[in-house]
A and B are shown apart, each in its own frame.
Chain A
Amino acid sequence: MSSDNTPVKRLNGIGSEIITKIAILAAFSLFLSTVEYMIPKPLPFLRIGLANLPIMVGLALFSLPEYLILVTLKIAGQGLINGTLFSYIFIYSAGGSIASSLMMYFLYKLFHNKISYIGISLVGAMTSNSVQLLLAQYLLFGSSIWIIAPPFLLMGLVSSILLGIFVNHFTGRSRWYSSAVEFSGLNGKRGRDEISHAET
């Protein structure tokens, strides 16, 4: 165990600037999750997925281990702030987030020149919702959960398209994002393409 008096400089070989970016996006995800928590929902597990916005922004900025740290921070932070860290809700959140994040990451890395953030967001939402439905079937509801699957998936479809549109705009116009992409050096070309596209 490291000392509490040591600043977080490096984590498994990850530099402090990257750690700062991860922590900022994780905090932003937590902020959006809190905003979403305050929005009334017809059923407690129906989510808009606002907290996934920073997760999608992180696709172009981080390597897989860094990206997984961001996702883990998002899940743990949400569990802590909503007080659900030791409950079934946490299992849903973790299952959906991990599956969708991995799916989005690999989709982005393999096809980022062929698919927009709308498509990535859509696939991520469908993956997350499907995993959550499966978990709900086995943990709480039984097979009758599939009765609410159509509206659940439909809501995921609509919110993920809106989220994808927003991420497209954000990544095209954000100065913070463009400098972060340049810094990461992972997908600099894509980042520059997006910026020049937005400028034109």
Chain B
Amino acid sequence: MKYRMQKPDVRIAAGLLMIPAFLLQPGLVVQGLQVFFLIVLAAVHGRKIRIVMITVVLISITAMNMLQENGRVLASIGSFSITLGALLTGLEKALTLIGMIYLSQYMVSGKPRFPGRFGQLLSKQFLYFEHLVTTWKKPEKGRFIESLDSMLEEMEQGILTDEEMGLSNPPNPHSGKADVRNATPWDLGKAAGIVTAFWLGSVIGFAGIWP
């Protein structure tokens, strides 16, 4: 049987192909550029950029790693020394985490469907989730449990009716609509371009041209 890749799977495949170029990157400067690339990539594909989250992750992980002194001392504050090795290790780890978060965001931005019965169950979970998000009202004061209870009962009743009605094609995560279109040559070409650009940039680091 001829396999046709579905549209959302293209981004998953592209992301998986970019992971080695990112995780094996030896140069910190190139890694920083890769992270920037991944953030822009995720933003272009509709994901939110959280500057505060990026800043907090960068500072907290770097700071935590600097507590373990390693290498040349760059500066001292009282008895605490900022060392080059610890600073670089912290930055590398922080960039890796931020980069992987945004690479992950790009990969799931196509609203992938997962195969098999578990995939269907996951879709069903998102069906209920959408129902919760769209129908949840702020509960009356002191009646939180009752509101929660009504919501749970309503969902169970509602969905049983859906099943009786023959709900046969569970919706996609996030969108509520199934997206089972096959990937077009344009989708594949675009993803190939992104992967190629990412790998070409990474070669600068692998070749040791940039630190």
Q: Verify if A154 is at the interface (C-beta below 8 Å from B).
A: no
Q: How far is the CA of A40 from the CA of B122 in the complex (A)?
A: 28
Q: List A74-113 residues whose CB lies under 8 Å from chain B.
A: 76-77, 79-81, 83-90
Q: Which residues of B contact A79 (CB under 8 A)?
A: 104, 108
- Cβ–Cβ contact B169 & A8, under 8 A: no
Asked if B122 contacts A5 (CB within 8 A), the reply is: no
**Please, which residues of chain A bring their CB within 8 A of the CB of B173?**
77, 80-81
**Chain A, residue nearest B133 (CB):** A31
Residues on the B chain within 8 Å of A5, using CB: 168-169
Question: B132-174 vs A: 1/0 string, CB under 8 Å?
Answer: 1100100000000110110011011001100100111110011
Partner of A84, one of B52, B104, B122, B166: B104
Q: Are B156 and A44 in contact (CB under 8 A)?
A: no
Interface residues on A, range: 35 or more
Within 8 A of B (CB), among A17-46: 19-24, 26-28, 30-31, 34, 40, 42-44
Report the Cα distance A69→B116, complex, angstroms: 14
Q: Of B53, B133, B167, B180, which contacts A44 at CB under 8 A?
A: B53
Q: Is the CB of B122 within 8 A of A73?
A: yes
B174 with A81: CB separation less than 8 A: yes
Cα–Cα distance between A88 and B117 once the two chains are bound (Å) = 26
How many chain B residues touch A (CB < 8 A): the figure is 65
**In the complex, A19 Cα to B65 Cα: how many Å?**
45
Asked if B61 lies at the interface with its beta carbon under 8 angstroms from chain A, I say yes
Given known pairs A11-B117, A31-B132, A43-B60, the reply for A77 and B126 (CB within 8 Å) is yes
Residues of B within 8 A of A27 (CB): 125-129, 131-132, 155
Q: A69-B121, A147-B67 are in contact. Are A87 and B56 (CB under 8 A)?
A: no
Please state if A19 and B121 are interface contacts (CB–CB under 8 Å). Answer: yes
- Could you tell me the distance between the alpha carbons of A23 and B152 in the complex, rounded to whole angstroms? 11
**A142 lies within 8 A of B65 (CB):** yes
| 0 or 1 for each of B101-132: is its CB under 8 Å from A? (1 = yes) | 10111011100011111101110111111011
Nearest CB in chain B: distance from A30 CB, A? 5
A24 CB contact (under 8 Å) in B15, B19, B118, B155: B155
Partner of A43, one of B56, B113, B116, B146: B56
Q: Is the CB of B61 within 8 A of A141?
A: yes
Cβ < 8 Å to A, chain B residues 23-49: 42, 47
Which segment of A122-130, A170-178, A187-195 sits at the interface? A170-178
Query: Which A residues have a C-beta under 8 Å from some C-beta of B?
Result: 1-2, 4-8, 11-12, 16, 19-24, 26-28, 30-31, 34, 40, 42-44, 69, 72-73, 76-77, 79-81, 83-90, 140-145, 147-148, 169-170, 173-177
In order of increasing CB-CB distance, the 3 nearest A-B pairs are: A27-B128, A83-B105, A87-B100
12 example contacts (A-B, Cβ-Cβ < 8 A) are as follows: A7-B167, A24-B156, A30-B125, A73-B125, A80-B173, A86-B104, A86-B107, A88-B96, A89-B101, A144-B65, A173-B146, A176-B149
